[in-house]
Structure 1
């Protein structure tokens, strides 16, 4: 068994969605004064590698803490679309190449290679993003979730979050953004775990995402 970490580290100087304040990691207790160390974490619920719930956009829809725990573990498959250039769409042709495996998977993770820009201004640029046709496929194939190695499911220019809304309006699916190292997972199905912080009425939460591969 091989376990791989797909999560960016939370730090005060990490990239955050434009207009959002970055996290603060303040030392609240010290070894010298208190005999132990404790850190006060202050951050938005959609910081770093994180998960969006349908409640993110619709008040009457499902919050993360209302999902059964099984929602956050499933068969994952990486869809390699790293040949795309800035602003190009991820089309169904990428899924059709591995359709049998894609149909079996519960989580589809789109590898664009954009995580190479993490920590630079380019990360907020015209990254590749999915088409409406892929959104329809995700809905009708009853996926547990979709993930990408970019900052958003929608293009950075879409303030309405059209694709988010399409997925969340009637479907209990989760969206994972800012994944890391997807290009190292190959093209076989693996066990994917993405466990969000459990807090009340969670519209989203940072996660620790891992892949468990058979050797």
Structure 2
């Protein structure tokens, strides 16, 4: 389960054991932004909503999937690249509530190249929101550039979370999805800044 640079590492250890205690219980130690997870507004916005205040139906719905091909290390992609990734090469004026961006970068999770992932142009993020997107899901560590030494600049987060929208990061296995699909991201209901999710695409 990949984590952002500087976030807590994942530790699983037996707390109770079946043979000894009659039941198996595993102690989990992990950050709220571990693996595939959702960022609540509280992640970067003072007094923003926590996951306890995010309704589940915000994270389930119709999605438009953008399959970007051949994106280079540290590249920035914008509306032109997103439109080119769709049939007909045109970005609709009205978008579904969820946008899913497939760069193929999830294949590098656990490798140093994961830090060199492409990022979304903040102006493009603002346009997606203007056209109806409420949840942005990416297969990278962040829709913003990742600096291994730590960064305090998150312009795409500012657009999405600053507007009370949501971001899902570290989504994997997107290559087989059609451009139009119904998806769901199912988080733990925690009163904090984010939560791991089970990401699901519905067939039919």
Superposition TM-score, scaled by structure 2 size: 0.89
Partner of residue 185, structure 1? 177
- The Cα offsets for residues 74-107 of structure 1, whole Å up to 9 and x where unpaired, read as 101210112211111111013332423x834211
Residues 1-215 of structure 1 aligned to structure 2 (within 5 Å) = 14-96=1-83, 97-100=89-92, 103-124=94-115, 126-157=116-147, 158-169=151-162, 171-187=163-179, 189-200=180-191, 202-214=192-204
SS class of match (2:125): helix
Say if 2:95 and 2:131, in contact at 8 Å, map to a contact too.
no
Separation (CA, whole Å) in 2 of partners of 1:172 and 1:55: 9
The alpha carbon displacement at 1:159 in A equals 2.9
Separation (CA, whole Å) in 2 of partners of 1:19 and 1:134: 28
Residues paired across the two proteins, number: 196
Q: Please identify runs of 4+ aligned residues in structure 1 that moved more than 4 A.
A: none
SS class of match (1:99): coil
Segments of 5+ residues of structure 2 without an aligned counterpart are 84-88
Say if 1:81 and 1:90, in contact at 8 Å, map to a contact too.
no
Partner of residue 86, structure 2? none
Separation (CA, whole Å) in 2 of partners of 1:39 and 1:53: 26
SS class of match (1:182): coil
